[in-house]
Structure 1
Amino acid sequence: MTLYTKEVKQLYQKKAYDSCILKSNFYISFLKKNIEYKSLPSLYLQIAKSKRKLREYNDGKEASAHALYWSFKSVDSIKIADSYTELARNFKALTVYDSAIYNYQKALLIYQNKDDYIGESIVLNNLGSIHKIKGEFTKALEYYIKDLDLNRKNNSERDMAIAYNNIGQIHNSTNNFNLAISFFKRSEEIRRKLNDMHGLALVINNIASAYSQQNKTDLALDNLYIALTIFEKHKSTYRTTETLLNISNILIQKGQFRDAEIFINKANKKSREFEIENLIARGNYLSGENYFNQQFYNKALPYLLEAKQFYDQEHYVVDRINTQKLLYETYHELHRYKKAFKAHKLWSKLYIKMNTTIQQKELAVLNQRYLNKESLLKIDRLNKEQLLQQEKLVYQNRVNAALIFISFLALIFVIFIYISLQKRKKSLKIIKEQHDEISVINEELTDSLKYAHKIQRSLNAIPSKAKDLFNDYLIFWKPLHEVSGDVFSVSVKNDIVFISLMDFTGHGAPAALLATLGVKVLNSIIDSGISSPEKILQELDIRMNNLLEDKQESSGMDAAIVTINLKTNYLEFAGARRPLFYIDESGQHYIKGTKRSISDKLSNHHYSYQKHIIPITSELKFYLYSDGFQDQFGGVKNKKFLEKNLRQLIIDNSSESFSIQKERMEDVRTKWMAPQSDIQYKPTDDTLIIGFHFKV
Structure 2
Amino acid sequence: MINKEIQMKASFKILLSLILFIILNNNLIYADSSKIDSLESQLKKVAEEEQFEIFLQLSKKYRNNSFKKSFYYAQQALKISKKTGNKENEIEAYRHIGAAFKSEGNLEATIEQFEKALAIEKELDNQKGVADIYNTIGDIYKDFDNYDKAQINFNKAIEISKKNDDEDAVSFALNGIGTIFYKQGDYKRALRMYENSLRNYLKLKDSEGIAASYHNIALIHKQLGEYQKALENTFKSLEIYEKLEDEQGISLSYSNIGTIYYYLENNDKAIEFFRKSLAIEEKLGNVLNIAGKNNNIGSVYTEQKKYKLALNFYKRSLKIYEKFNIKNGVAIISDNIGLCYFGMKQYDKALFYNNKSLKIQKEIGNNEGIIYSYNNIGQIYLKKGEFNKALECFNKSLKMSKDLNLKTTIIDSYRNFSELHEAKGSYKKSLEYYKKLTILKDSLLNEESHKQIAEMQTKYETEKKQAEIELLSKDKALKEAEIKKQKYIKNGLILGSIFILIFAFLTYNRFLIKKRSNKLLTSQKNEILEKNEALNQQKEEILSQRDLIEEKNKNLEKAFNTIKRKNKNITDSINYAQKIQNALLPPEHYLNNILNDYFVLFKPKDIVSGDFYWVRQNNNRIIVAAADCTGHGVPGAFMSILGTTFLNEISHLNSNIEANEILNILSQNLKKTLHQTDEKSDTRDGMDIALYIIDTEKQILQFSGAYNPLYLIRNKELCQYKADKMPIGLSYKKEKPFTKHEIKLEKGDSFYIFSDGYIDQFGKNNKEKFKTKRFQELLIRINDMPMSKQKNVLDSIIEKWRGDVEQIDDILVFGVKI
TM-score tier by shorter-chain length is 0.3 to 0.5
TM-score if structure 1 supplies the norm length?
0.47
Q: Which has the higher contact order (CA 8 A, sep 6+)?
A: 2
* Pair member with larger Rg: 2
TM-score if structure 2 supplies the norm length?
0.41
